[in-house]
Amino acid sequence: MVGRGGIYGDLYGDGREVNPELPLPKPDDYVVHIPKPSDWEVELCPGFTATPRQGGEPNWFHRWMHWLAFGFVWRKKQKSKG
């Protein structure tokens, strides 16, 4: 039965119709990609550290300015031998 919402019906409940010519989302559109963490970490306040993504760590000047202006301490993580 074709109602006021067309052959696909009123899916949204407010009179909008679904356009059947639009492509449906692919399953890959909903995949969460988690970047690799860097070897650097920054201590923002005592007990709270953050790790940037690999390749996103600041250079020496920015690390020094973070320490000078905000007191943030950047340090390279120790690699565990295992």
Contact in structure between 37 and 54 (CB atoms under 8 Å): yes
Where do we find the tokens 């943030």? 72
Residue 11 within a domain: no
Let me know if residue 68 belongs to a domain: yes
Residue 49 lies in a domain: yes
Residue 56 inside a domain? The answer is yes
Q: What's the domain count of the chain?
A: 1
Q: Look up the pTM and report it.
A: 0.56
> For residue 17, what pLDDT is reported?
62
| Within a domain: 61 | yes
Q: pLDDT (tens digit, 9 = 90+) per residue, 21-62?
A: 777 667 777 778 889 999 999 999 888 999 999 999 999 999
Q: What is the mean pLDDT of residues 2-30?
A: 62
Give residue 2's pLDDT band: very low, low, confident or very high (50, 70, 90): very low
| Helical (H) or strand (E) element with 42 | strand 40-45
Residue 14 lies in a domain: no
Closest by CA position to 74, among listed 49, 52, 41: 41
pLDDT higher than 50, residue 81: yes
